[in-house]
A and B are shown apart, each in its own frame.
Chain A
Amino acid sequence: MVSLSSYLIISMILFVTGITVMIGRKSLVAILLGVELVMNAAALNFVAYSRYMTDNLDGHVFSLFIIVIAAAEAAVGLAIVIRFFQIKETIHVDEATQLRN
């Protein structure tokens, strides 16, 4: 039987990769990709704990809500990216300086 800690290790790798992508990449779309990875890591943890630690299905419900929220976040985030590209002609993060100072 697959143990709980193997799921936790996979989720941890997903989370760390997502954080690395969020910090290291230059493109706004790549940062949104990192956010998706982090959300998937959290949802995977919820389902794994729901299977191994409890008898109820509350973790599945939380995962479903995470999926819904990720869909909403992706829609709004990509709309902002497209608007930013209309204004600045690029999606480089360092060009987003309008609110500086």
Chain B
Amino acid sequence: MFVQILFGLSALLTVGCAIALAATKNIMHSCVFLLGTLLGVAGLYATLGADFVATAQIMVYVGGVVILMLFAVMLTGGKDFVSKAQNLLGLAPTMGNKWTYSLAGLVSLVFILTNVKLISSIVKTAPAKTFTNEMPSTVSQLGHLLIKDHVLAFELSSVLLLGALIGAAIIARPKKNQ
């Protein structure tokens, strides 16, 4: 019963905040809605029994990535902006006008139809797995998996993080005085 209630609340938070993120014009509000979406996804992980992934989601995304996004928004001016650029035909800017939105709608429609087709066949043919209702902790199993089966990817991801952070610091370094 608790799982169903948590699932309903998390699904509502996730979907509502995602749609509000896409609908609002203010980029600062979009960042705050992203926070709600990520919290909702963490709740969905919790309903799936993925305790460690839910915790990592809250710590890395909600505590790190969203704050980084907010810093970037504030450093680059969060207010509305206009572009002076024009494309070849002298029309309005190419992003964010009605043509790009209709392209996005078409892509979404195709994706939804494809997914409905795929999901319906999978759900029909897959045998329903029986599992117990209590959810044991996954931390020790995940630790064993990470240092046995997936140790190469684990080490590579640490190197990737180090390289990405050094690269970010180099790219965003202050301008030299010329």
Q: Which of B117-174 contact A (CB under 8 A)?
A: 119, 123, 126, 129, 131, 133, 138, 141-142, 145-146, 149-150, 153, 157, 160-161, 164-165, 167-169, 171-172
B47 and chain A: residue at smallest CB distance: A2
Whether A36 lies near B53 (C-beta < 8 A) is no
Whether B68 lies near A19 (C-beta < 8 A) is no
Q: Which of A34-76 contact B (CB under 8 A)?
A: 36-37, 40, 43-44, 47-48, 50-58, 60-61, 63-65, 67-76
Whether B85 lies near A47 (C-beta < 8 A) is no
CB distance from B135 to the nearest CB of A (A): 9
Tell me which residues across on chain A come within 8 A of B93, comparing CB atoms.
26, 92, 94
CB distance from B64 to the nearest CB of A (A): 6
A94 in contact with B172 given A10-B11, A61-B145 (CB within 8 Å): no
A48 in contact with B48 given A2-B4, A14-B18, A74-B65 (CB within 8 Å): yes
Whether B172 lies near A2 (C-beta < 8 A) is no
Whether A24 lies near B104 (C-beta < 8 A) is yes
Tell me which residues across on chain A come within 8 A of B47, comparing CB atoms.
2
Whether B69 lies near A74 (C-beta < 8 A) is yes
CA distance A61 to B56 in the complex (A): 11
Whether A26 lies near B107 (C-beta < 8 A) is no
CB distance from B81 to the nearest CB of A (A): 6
Whether A60 lies near B100 (C-beta < 8 A) is no
A24 in contact with B56 given A79-B172, A92-B93 (CB within 8 Å): no
The majority secondary structure among interface residues of chain A is helix
Whether B50 lies near A51 (C-beta < 8 A) is yes
A93 and chain B: residue at smallest CB distance: B95
B89: interface (CB < 8 Å): no
B88 and chain A: residue at smallest CB distance: A100
Whether B138 lies near A24 (C-beta < 8 A) is no
CB-defined interface of B4-48 with A at 8 Å, one 1/0 digit per residue? 100100010011001101100001001100100110010011011
Residues of B within 8 A of A (CB): 3-4, 7, 11, 14-15, 18-19, 21-22, 27, 30-31, 34, 37-38, 41, 44-45, 47-50, 52-53, 56-57, 60-61, 64-65, 68-69, 71-73, 75-77, 81-85, 87, 93-96, 100-101, 103-105, 107-108, 111-112, 115, 119, 123, 126, 129, 131, 133, 138, 141-142, 145-146, 149-150, 153, 157, 160-161, 164-165, 167-169, 171-172, 175
Q: Top 8 closest A-B pairs, CB basis? A: A72-B164, A79-B168, A79-B172, A94-B85, A23-B104, A26-B96, A79-B171, A92-B83
